Structure 1
Amino acid sequence: MKTKLLSHVCVLAITMGSASVAQEFGGAGTDPVMASPFRFAESQKKAERAKDIAAEDSGSKVIGGTVSADGAWPWQVALVVGGYPLQPDIQFCGGSLVLDRWVLTAAHCIHMADDEGTYRDIDPSRFNIVVGTNHLAHGNGDMVPVEAVFRHPGYVGTEFDNDIALIKLARAPGVQYQTITVPDAEFGDYLEQPGVTTYVTGWGLIEGAQNPDRLREVQIQMMERDMCNGLLLEARAEEAVKGFGYAAEVFGMDVATAEQAWSEFVQHVPEPMTPNMICSGTYEGGKTSCQGDSGGPLVVPLDDGSFIQAGVVSWGLSAENGKTCAEDALFSAYTRTANYVDWLNGTISRNN
């Protein structure tokens, strides 16, 4: 990435509109309640924010998705706060059934900071898994208790790498459902070629921060990780260069020295999307996952009509107001499931 200190081109304004570089779906935050999907739903702030945003942005369009047909995506499950009748406000993440009693989701969905900032896994007794329905309404589907949670050992709450986890159900669901498979590394390479069609599904926030009661889907496509990293780094540099330029001025640096220092600095900046992540979206923007979609599946259709799960919804860009995801974002980041087949198989075999 070539970036000049004093004549930086605002790529962000052209390609991402009002998107900021905040990572919206998981990770650390100054407010533990806002940083954790579970605590956000449990605290009732999810419903409160929906009302606030709806009042500000009424009349806007949905973020690129459509309502899924009943029975579509039968591996999709909802993670919900325990102790309440089924309704959209208690849903905090998505997931997918990979075996009869095993759900694949994002690590940030089941690992959160307490009031002191210490990260811990959620006690299994505090949430349930809803299986067998696309409509989050009382009496629908099967609300299955959770027996245990297994977070990838490489995941830490302050970062997004290795954002993957397994949930073991206390029993097999008592409704109709299907499981979905994940690809091995070689097949994953094939699936992740730019332009490959993907679908992401979930009950995440739609435009206006409304909490939908029906599962939604959107068709997007694989995008090059290098391109997505370049756009993200440009966006971050646009903010960082302001402070750097001020510091250079305060210290009386000449332009050539400041530009050399900036160039050396950006060479050490880590790429936001690691090889454990997939980039998927659209070049025109406006089709993306949002809060509440975290942990849900990114699937690829195969020639025989079946689907395979290439990714897990992990993180994306927030709007400038910080209250919802960026409607015009070109892409979101997904955990690359093909990198974790050995961990998934080993965890399940040791804990069956």
Structure 2
Amino acid sequence: MKAFKITTLALAAALMAAPGIAQEMQLPQVDQQDASPFDFAESKKKAERAEKMAADGSGSRVVGGELAAEGAWPWQVGLMIAGYPVSPDAHFCGGSLILDQWVLTAAHCIHHQDKNGKYFDLHPSQISILVGTNTISPNSGDNVPVAGIFRNPNYNPDGWDSDVALIKLARKPNANYRTIKVPDANFGDVLDQAGVPTVVTGWGLVNGGTHPDKMYQAEIQMMSRDMCNEALMKARARPASQAFVQAASIFKLSKNDMQKAWEELVKRAPLPLTENMVCSGSFEGGKTSCQGDSGGPLVVPLQDGSYIQAGIVSWGLSAGPNKTCAEDAIFSAYTKVSQFLPWLEQTISQN
């Protein structure tokens, strides 16, 4: 059961020092006619939430990346709508195999909101997991049924904190695949350092907005969480300050009282990126993970040629309220996997 864990002592010296090129990631799309239990996994739904954080999740896949070689990233899996033909239209999220029958993904992929605003978890019978292929097609890989879905109990859909879930497969896949290891808490802090090169993978939009059935890959790099939070808070402050000034005018607050109230409001505002998240992207914009499969892996290359999973694609954002994620996204947020190792071990051992 502990085979999926890597410790600091084992691999801290193996990190590669070369900087990565950034790319962008976010949420998946499902055909509206097929979307009933999958609404929250659609980019439109996520974009509505993301606007509150100056984020635009209009895209849903790896944009600007390169085609992955056949057999590359053998731990990458696709979450599919059960009962539909295997195709890009049935694919709604990504994930990674951390054990033969266990998939790591994002909680928002399996925790959705109905038309009445009530949240619910998907039933195992509603999804299947495509394993062992870089191509989404009926004759590729193994589309494995699901035995159980386990969402982290601390997941907060309003801010996507603790955005992590496990899926147990009904059987071992009949396909060529490998599992990916995850770090312990200490090694996770090593992976979290700004400048650490990373890779995101997934199926989806390429230049021109097409939905290919082939897997793409893109290099990005870790960025400082403090820097990302500072940029996010500034982006939030612009529209918030306009509304605040209007409210202060209505209540006829003095300039002094208005300044005090604003400072108190800013002081109490929660930071968008919590300790349970890592930040990656590009200072150039348009090269973060805004377009990758939600729930998919963010991996770090090691000197011995292996990889370790540092993050789970959670949410993305753009530099301006009128820009799409693909146009100028500067960074994205990933669930920090090492924060949840105790929960992963407990869930797997008990199920």
Indicate how the Cα distance of structure 1 residues 40 and 140 shifts in structure 2: closer, same or farther if over 3 A, else same.
farther
Equivalent residue, structure 2, for 1:218: 218
The amino acid of 2:298's aligned partner reads L
> CA 1:268 to 1:291, structure 2 compared with 1: closer, same or farther past 3 Å?
same
**Paired position in structure 1 for 2:256:** 256
Q: CA deviation at 1:286?
A: 1.6
What is the aligned partner in structure 2 of residue 37 from structure 1?
A: 41
Query: Cα deviations across residues 239-294 of structure 1 (Å, max 9, x unaligned)?
Result: 11111011122233333332222112100000000000000111112223345610
1:171 corresponds to = 171
2:26 and 2:68 map into 1 onto residues whose CA distance is: 24
Q: How does 1:329-344 map to 2 (within 5 A)?
A: 329-344=329-344
In the other structure, the counterpart of 2:157 is 157
Give the alignment's Cα RMSD to 1 decimal: 2.7
Q: Report the equivalent of 2:72.
A: 72
Q: Which whole-Å CA distance do the structure 2 matches of 1:263 and 1:309 have between them?
A: 39
Aligned partners of 2:36, 2:268: CA distance in 1, in Å? 29
Three-state SS of the structure 1 residue aligned to 2:338 is: helix
Work out the CA distance in 2 between the residues paired with 1:149 and 1:77. Answer: 15
Q: What displacement does 1:85 show?
A: 1.5
Instruction: Give the letter aligned to residue 136 of structure 1.
Output: I
Separation in structure 1 between the aligned mates of residue 87 and residue 325 of structure 2, nearest angstrom: 22
* TM-score normalised to structure 1 length: 0.81
Secondary structure at 1:36 match in 2:
helix
Secondary structure, counterpart of 1:190 in structure 2: helix
* 1:38–1:81 Cα contact (<8 Å) kept: no
Question: Would the aligned equivalents of 2:205 and 2:212 in 1 still touch at CA under 8 Å?
Answer: yes
Q: CA deviation at 1:34?
A: 8.1
Structure 2 unmatched ranges of 5 or more: 1-23, 29-34, 46-57
The answer to whether the 8 A contact 1:91-1:292 is kept is no
1:195 matched to 2:199? no
Shift of 1:206: 3.8
- In 1, the alpha carbon distance for the partners of 2:268 and 2:134 equals 45
The amino acid across from 2:41 in the alignment is P
Q: Which moved more, 1:134-143 or 1:94-103?
A: 134-143
Question: Which stretches in structure 1 are left out of the alignment for 5+ residues?
Answer: 1-18, 42-52, 55-61
Cα 1:233/1:207, change in 2 over 3 Å:
farther
Q: Are the aligned partners of 1:93 and 1:109 in contact in 2 as well (CA < 8 Å)?
A: yes
Structure-2-length-normalised TM-score? 0.81
State the one-letter code of the partner of 1:37: A
Structure 1 CA distance, aligned partners of 2:300 and 2:209?
A: 27
Q: Please state how far the C-alpha of 1:202 moved relative to its aligned partner.
A: 1.0
Aligned residues: 307
- The DSSP-based 3-state class of the residue aligned with 1:202 is strand
Residues 149 and 310 (structure 1), Cα distance of their counterparts in 2 relative to 1, 3 Å cut: same
Q: Could you say what secondary structure the match of 1:218 adopts?
A: strand
Q: Call closer, same or farther: CA 1:271–1:172 in 2, change over 3 Å.
A: same
Q: Which amino acid aligns with 2:267?
A: Q
CA 102–244 in structure 1, closer or farther in 2 if over 3 Å, else same: same
| Aligned residue in 1 for 2:115 | 115
Provide the rounded CA distance (Å) in 2 between the counterparts of 1:86 and 1:241.
Answer: 48
How much identity, in percent, do the aligned residues show? Answer: 55
Does 2:293 align with 1:308?
no
Q: Offset at 1:205? A: 3.4
Query: Does structure 2 retain, via aligned residues, the 8 Å contact 1:218–1:288?
Result: no
Q: Is the contact made by 1:200 and 1:298 (CA closer than 8 Å) also made in structure 2?
A: yes
1:82-113 CA distances to partner (integer Å, 9 max, x unpaired)?
Answer: 11221111110000000000000000001111
Are the counterparts in 1 of residues 37 and 122 from structure 2 also a CA contact under 8 Å?
Answer: no
Following the alignment from structure 1 to structure 2, what is the Cα–Cα distance between the partners of residues 180 and 310? Answer: 10
Aligned pair 1:247/2:227, yes or no?
no
Q: Distance in 1 between matches of 2:37 and 2:238?
A: 29
Q: Deviations over 1:292-341 (max 9, x none)?
A: 6100000000111100000000011268569x634311111000000111
Contact 2:317/2:330 (8 A) holds in 1: no
Going from structure 1 to structure 2, the CA distance change for 1:227 and 1:164 (only over 3 Å counts) comes to: same
Shift of residue 33, structure 1, vs aligned partner: 7.3
Residue matched to 1:147: 147
Q: Distance in 2 between matches of 1:148 and 1:38?
A: 22
Secondary structure of 2:187's counterpart equals: helix
